[in-house]
Amino acid sequence: MTSPYAIAETAEPGIPEGFRRLDAGGPWFRLIGPVYTHPHPAGSVIVALRVAPHHLNMQGVTHGGMLTTLADSALGINLAIARGRRGGQVTVSFTADFLSDAREGDWLEAHVIITRMGKRLAYANCDLKVGERHVLRSSAVFAIVERQLPHASE
Amino acid sequence: MTSPYAIAETAEPGIPEGFRRLDAGGPWFRLIGPVYTHPHPAGSVIVALRVAPHHLNMQGVTHGGMLTTLADSALGINLAIARGRRGGQVTVSFTADFLSDAREGDWLEAHVIITRMGKRLAYANCDLKVGERHVLRSSAVFAIVERQLPHASE
Amino acid sequence: MTSPYAIAETAEPGIPEGFRRLDAGGPWFRLIGPVYTHPHPAGSVIVALRVAPHHLNMQGVTHGGMLTTLADSALGINLAIARGRRGGQVTVSFTADFLSDAREGDWLEAHVIITRMGKRLAYANCDLKVGERHVLRSSAVFAIVERQLPHASE
Amino acid sequence: MTSPYAIAETAEPGIPEGFRRLDAGGPWFRLIGPVYTHPHPAGSVIVALRVAPHHLNMQGVTHGGMLTTLADSALGINLAIARGRRGGQVTVSFTADFLSDAREGDWLEAHVIITRMGKRLAYANCDLKVGERHVLRSSAVFAIVERQLPHASE
């Protein structure tokens, strides 16, 4: 399926092989960037970033809201890819468990699995990981609508 | 109880009466600012902001991750006030339902209720509202620890 | 609004004033019974029961699944009352935090607030309490459909 | 690791190969039975049951509270196996998304993955499935305590 996103073609130094810069999203999503994606065998994309100073809280680890921003965005991006179009989807509910923290310099990856794509509702999970270590488990339900919607995750 | 936060003394134009600038938090929390607080009769504080262009997604409404950042932060701030100290608390789980959207210029308030403050775990809810309209319902469980912790919500 | 439920007219000994037996629901809901309801000033009903031996786990306190059964059912009943009809609603997502336990003999009440009733989605919260003590905080999102649906909470 | 549970040795007609009756749990858990378990390669056990009339709601499909009872119990059983002892664990938070329904006669399996086992907190996910079809996605956080605890999931 053709991705509705523009992906850069060139690799960047310090970024793991196969990851390309994702040039997409509105103002809030861009605050978390730069963000990279990597095609996943299952048809989805891994969304990832290098943890930087602006992602941190006062304790020097990733802020919870930065992690939920990354998860919500990765879910929305993968849903858009699966549907072959952007927009027309809105987050209805979102849950997250915080398993560990991420620190400056960590390569933080969001792995998404869409468990059900219905006509009106879609269900998906997103795990944030640094290597094999779980940082965040999250899941969300999305409403699929034809018109432009609130809460589109970009 | 004395708040562990520094609150500005002067009012600002365009900011509802009684709200004062909150000068606190780490880098990610500051990206969402400026943020204001207002003492709540129940001992907690309302945390609020004026929705600005940097809070939006591509559809021109508040990004889900911006809403969860505000909720997670408002929960953490109120927990710190209730405990009389900052730090030493970590978000364990967080859930949110998205009821409606907020738009540029909206005055968005976070109302927190702590439902249980235990020795090891604390439970609290946070509603985001524009006027009387619900934007986000959220709740979280926090672990209370003595040492500095991951995920402190500032 | 006329309730779509049959409520007994006579009081029962040992049951708080104003509560009447609710004769409704399918087989799984009836396992939790007898269940009682009390009209709530806000138009909703309080759903309650006396904690009995069959509600307990091996530690002698209420099983988590019994609490989520009560909460899910109380949410569904109140949604049906608000809509003036039974059926046609399905639980999409459900979250719960366990704040304390309930024991045999406790009078356990479910208090529901519907925060948004949309055409396609409804949002509601349910707090389980013994007196003023919180036992469970929960919230759910429901899909509203015209045909008979899975997961109707009775 | 030795399981702290008594598992029957004989197979039963109509029960998939390798599943054995689990003779455990308190009164509420026993209402959902009979329940069967099967060792899982990852060291966990699959917990399963044949959907029967007493599991249903008025629409003739599984009641949401029956599904959350099964998920909460399967999570608790697997946590007990991983810890090599029963008791001493309490559900702190639980979230579930309802993807589809199950009907009488369906063989409903609960698959649990423990994502983090800490000293004080444990995190785990539970998927309920009929064949390859997702019925429920759930996740929970547990507090680990030394004394006997509320909400033990049996």
Residue A123 to residue A118: CA distance in whole angstroms = 8
- Under an 8 Å CB criterion, which residues of B touch D? 92-93, 95, 120-121, 141, 143
Closest approach of chain B CAs to the CA of C139, in angstroms?
8
The CATH number of the domain holding residue A89 is: 3.10.129.10
Q: Is residue A138 part of a domain?
A: yes
Residue type, C86: R
Q: Which residue has the higher pLDDT, D71 or C4?
A: D71
The answer to whether B92 and B108 are in contact (CB under 8 A) is: no
With both helix axes pointing from N to C terminus, report the angle between A64-83 and B64-83 in degrees, rounded to the nearest 10: 160
Residue B37 confidence (pLDDT) above 50: yes
Q: CA nearest A98 in D: which residue?
A: D123
pLDDT number for residue C24: 84
Q: What is residue D147's predicted lDDT score, i.e. its pLDDT? A: 54
Among C68, C99, C101, C138, which would you mutate to test the D interface (most chain D Cβ atoms within 10 Å of its Cβ)? C68
User: pLDDT band for position A12 (50/70/90)?
Assistant: confident
Residue C81 lies inside a defined structural domain of this protein: yes
Q: Please give, rounded to a whole number of angstroms, the shortest distance from the CA of D133 to a CA of chain A.
A: 9
What local confidence, expressed as pLDDT, does residue C32 receive?
A: 96
Using the predicted structure, report yes or no on whether residue B110 has a pLDDT greater than 80.
yes
Which residue, chain included where needed, has tokens 């509601």? C124
Q: How far is CA C56 from the centre of its chain?
A: 18
**Residue A1's pLDDT band (boundaries 50, 70, 90)?**
very low
pLDDT of residue B113 exceeding 80, the answer is yes
Give the total residue count for chain C.
154
Distance from CA of B92 to the nearest CA of D (A): 8
Q: What is the ipTM of this complex?
A: 0.91
Confidence of residue C14 (pLDDT cuts 50, 70, 90): confident
Residues C66/C55, Cβ–Cβ less than 8 Å = yes
D2 assigned to some structural domain = no
pLDDT bracket for residue C149 (50, 70, 90): very low
Helix (H, G, I), strand (E, B) or coil at A73: helix
Whether residue D115 and residue A134 make contact (CB cut-off 8 A), yes or no, is yes
Residue C10 lies in a domain: no
Q: Indicate if the pLDDT at residue A150 is higher than 70.
A: no
Query: Quick check: C96 pLDDT over 90?
Result: yes
Q: Write the pLDDT tens digit of every residue in C49-59.
A: 999 999 999 99
How far is Cα C55 from Cα C62, in angstroms, rounded to an integer?
A: 5
pLDDT at C66 over 50: yes
Pick D4 or A35 by higher pLDDT.
A35
CA distances from D16 to D37, D46, D76, D104 (A): 10, 12, 23, 16
Residue A115 and residue D134: Cβ atoms within 8 Å? Answer: yes
Please determine, for residue D150, whether its predicted confidence score (pLDDT) is greater than 60: no
Q: D43: distance to nearest CA of chain C, Å?
A: 24
* pLDDT at residue D38 greater than cutoff 80: yes
Q: What are the chain C neighbours of A93 within 8 Å (beta carbons)?
A: 92-93, 95, 141
Contacts of D92 in chain C (CB under 8 A): 97-98
Query: Which of D75, D90, D91, D93 would best serve as a mutation to test chain B binding (most B beta carbons within 10 A)?
Result: D93
Chain B nearest-CA distance from C10, in A, is 35
CB atoms within 10 A of CB B118: 13
Instruction: Write phi, then psi, for B119 (nearest 5 degrees).
Output: -70, -40
Cα–Cα distance measured from residue A46 to residue A40, given in angstroms and rounded to the nearest whole number: 6
3-state secondary structure chain C: CCCCCCECCCCCCCCCCCCEEECCCCHHHHHCCCCEEEECCCCCEEEEEECCHHHECCCCEECHHHHHHHHHHHHHHHHHHHHCCCCCEEEEEEEEEECCCCECCCEEEEEEEEEEECCCEEEEEEEEEECCEEEEEEEEEEEECCCCCCCCCC
% chain C with pLDDT above 70:
92
A153, part of any domain? no
* Domain around D120: 20-144
**Res B127: pLDDT:** 98
Looking at the predicted structure, is the pLDDT value of residue A148 above 50? no
How far is CA C106 from each of CA C28, C51, C58, D93, rounded to the nearest angstrom? 21, 5, 17, 22
Please check whether residue C136 is in contact with residue D42, taking contact to mean a CB–CB distance below 8 angstroms: no
**D6 in any annotated domain:** no
Q: Which residue of D has its CA nearest to B122?
A: D92
Contacts of C148 in chain D (CB under 8 A): 59
> Residue range B80-87: average pLDDT?
87
Asked if the structure places residue A4 within a domain, the reply is no
Chain B contact probe: residue of D91, D92, D125 with most B CBs at under 10 A: D92
**Cα separation, B48 vs B37, whole angstroms:** 6
The number of distinct structural domains making up chain C is: 1
- DSSP states of chain B: ---SS-B-SS--TTS-TT-EEB----HHHHHT---EEEE-TTS-EEEEEE--GGGB-TTSBB-HHHHHHHHHHHHHHHHHHHHTSSSSEEEEEEEEEE----BTT-EEEEEEEEEEE-SSEEEEEEEEEETTEEEEEEEEEEEE-SS--TT---
| Token pair in block for residue D111 | 């698959």
Q: Which residues of A43-73 are buried (b: 16+ CB within 10 A; e: fewer)?
A: ebbbbbbbbeebbbbbbebbbbbbbbbbbbb
Q: Does residue C13 lie in a domain region? A: no
CA angle C136, C141, C143 (to 5 degrees): 145
Residue with tokens 């609004």: C1
- Whole-number pLDDT of residue B147: 54
Stretch A77-98: mean pLDDT: 92
Tokens of A150: 């609130």
